[in-house]
Amino acid sequence: MDYTLSIDDGGDYLIAIVSGVVDTYEELSAMAHGVVEVTSEHWSKKAFVDFRTVSMNIDFLSAQMLANTLEDEGVQLSGIRLACLYPPEEIDIYRLFETTHQNRSLNFRIFESEGKAVEWLKS
């Protein structure tokens, strides 16, 4: 595992910071499940996820598989809401994540600024 996932309580929502490198579907899945698990335990079921310090070396199939897995596990029914800040140079993979997750009714949005992400979480 070449990434780290740090979790902090932001009061109205959780703050998750991911850093390092995610190279495989297994790492992607473990990271996503880590965020989902702690978010589902938080009273608000909301998380601000900062991906600006992680490099995602993931292909379309891995993104699709993750969305399918989360849907099969019923994550979309849990009420979890994820606002994600992404590194601008990796916009394509994050748009792919957003599209594949939203197509399965998973409440996952990407943002360029922390302010807009937090505003969406609190709305």
As a whole number of Å, the CA-based R_g of the chain is 13
Reported as a single tens digit per residue, the pLDDT across 69-115 is 999 999 999 999 999 999 999 999 999 999 999 999 999 999 999 99
* Sheet with 3-9, side-by-side order of all strands: 3-9, 14-22, 46-56, 81-85, 107-111
Q: Residue 43's pLDDT is what?
A: 87
pTM of the model: 0.91
Instruction: Report the alpha-carbon distance of residue 20 to residue 10 in Å, rounded.
Output: 22
Instruction: Report the alpha-carbon distance of residue 116 to residue 120 in Å, rounded.
Output: 6
Reported as a single tens digit per residue, the pLDDT across 39-79 is 998 888 999 999 999 999 999 999 999 999 999 999 999 99
Tell me the CATH number of domain 3-122, given options 3.50.50.60, 3.60.15.10, 3.30.750.24, 3.10.28.10.
3.30.750.24
